[in-house]
Copies of this chain bind each other. A is one copy, B any other.
Amino acid sequence: MSQNRRYTLTISCPDRAGIIAAVSGFIAQHGGYIVEASYHTDQDEQRFFMRQEIRADSLPFDGAELSRRFIPLAEQFAMEWRLSDSACRKQVVILVSKQDHCLDDLLHRWRSGELAVDIPCVISNHDDLRQFVEWHGIPYHRVDMQDKAVAFAAISRLFEQHCADTMVLARYMQILPPDLCRRFPGRIINIHHSFLPSFVGAKPYHQAYRRGVKLIGATCHYVTEELDAGPIIEQDTVRIDHGDTVDDLVRYGRDIEKTVLSRGLRYHVEDRVLICGNKTIVFR
């Protein structure tokens, strides 16, 4: 078994004393070697969050058995928990429109092995990016937006047929219907081209230009029913000045969008993001 194979255990439960001791005791009892351990208590919700990365080859059994044996402890502390295995790559479906900077960035990271996921398909309402995607050997599905209900049903079907874990809106430019948002909570990731909560909705760079801000930003967040209001995973900003036109803002913005989306997606697929109400805990 590869030395690099890891089980990642993420936990959230009501806060009380002794949780770390119980979980690390459980792991130690089976000889588990913890590679990385992170904790957080949300004081408002009195809720405890935890992420443990364990070397798979340090355990005398596999992940399924580890999960089975963990159940009594999980029940004792009323935990919501998940065990993921680095050997099972996450399935990430990417949705795009015509702009390709985020797509190019994600595909390069995937191609170079930096982004350790499978991309079962790319979905778009245009054909512009087909050639580039297919050059990578990734299936490309065009789903037209004439009838939005039909279109989003087709997208859901594609997502489920591919047993996908995560949907990434890489500058997709379409607003997802509420039922689709509700169906995959914490599994749809969007990149919004502003420093939220400033400049929600359409044309944020134009809004930023008109307001005369001195920095612009981008926000990677989980999609919820309310537009651009879901839990924020990652954000960043970049300095602009009075000499920059809207086109310059768009150009600077592309770079920050790419960076923020790729970081946010990386945290997500490595199970570093836990959701707490409308906020995230990101165990970097």
* A28 adjacent to B37 (CB under 8 Å): no
- Please indicate the chain B residues that have their CB under 8 angstroms from the CB of A284 in the complex: 241
Shortest distance in angstroms between A71's beta carbon and chain B's nearest beta carbon? Answer: 19
| Contact A112 to B108, CB < 8 A, known contacts A28-B18, A212-B279 | no
Contact flags A88-101 to B (C-beta < 8 A → 1, else 0): 00000000000011
| Contact A215 to B242, CB < 8 A, known contacts A100-B112, A108-B101, A108-B104 | no
Partner of A24, one of B20, B32, B234: B20
A217–B196 CA distance with the chains assembled, in angstroms? 12
A32–B17 CA distance with the chains assembled, in angstroms? 7
- Please indicate the chain B residues that have their CB under 8 angstroms from the CB of A198 in the complex: 195-198
| Contact A234 to B212, CB < 8 A, known contacts A18-B28, A25-B21 | no
- Please indicate the chain B residues that have their CB under 8 angstroms from the CB of A243 in the complex: 36, 40
A235 sits at the interface (CB 8 A): yes
By size class, the interface of chain A is 35 or more
- Please indicate the chain B residues that have their CB under 8 angstroms from the CB of A104 in the complex: 104, 108
Contact flags A1-44 to B (C-beta < 8 A → 1, else 0): 00000000000000001101110110111011111110111010
Contact flags A183-203 to B (C-beta < 8 A → 1, else 0): 000000000000111110000
| Contact A242 to B280, CB < 8 A, known contacts A37-B20, A104-B108, A213-B235 | yes
Majority-rule SS of A interface residues:
mixed
CB within 8 Å of B: which A178-229 residues: 195-199, 211-215, 217
Shortest distance in angstroms between A138's beta carbon and chain B's nearest beta carbon? Answer: 14
Partner of A20, one of B28, B29, B234: B28
* A235 adjacent to B214 (CB under 8 Å): yes
Residue of chain B at shortest CB distance from A231 = B212
A57 sits at the interface (CB 8 A): no
A146 sits at the interface (CB 8 A): no
CB-based closest 3 A-B pairs: A212-B279, A21-B28, A21-B24
Other than the known A17-B28, A215-B237, A242-B280, what 10 A-B pairs have Cβ atoms closer than 8 Å? A17-B58, A20-B37, A21-B21, A24-B24, A37-B37, A37-B39, A104-B108, A196-B211, A211-B232, A242-B279
- Name 22 A/B residue pairs within 8 A (Cβ), A-sorted: A17-B28, A17-B31, A17-B32, A20-B20, A20-B24, A21-B25, A21-B27, A35-B41, A37-B39, A40-B243, A104-B108, A105-B108, A195-B198, A195-B215, A196-B213, A197-B213, A198-B198, A211-B232, A214-B234, A215-B235, A215-B237, A242-B282
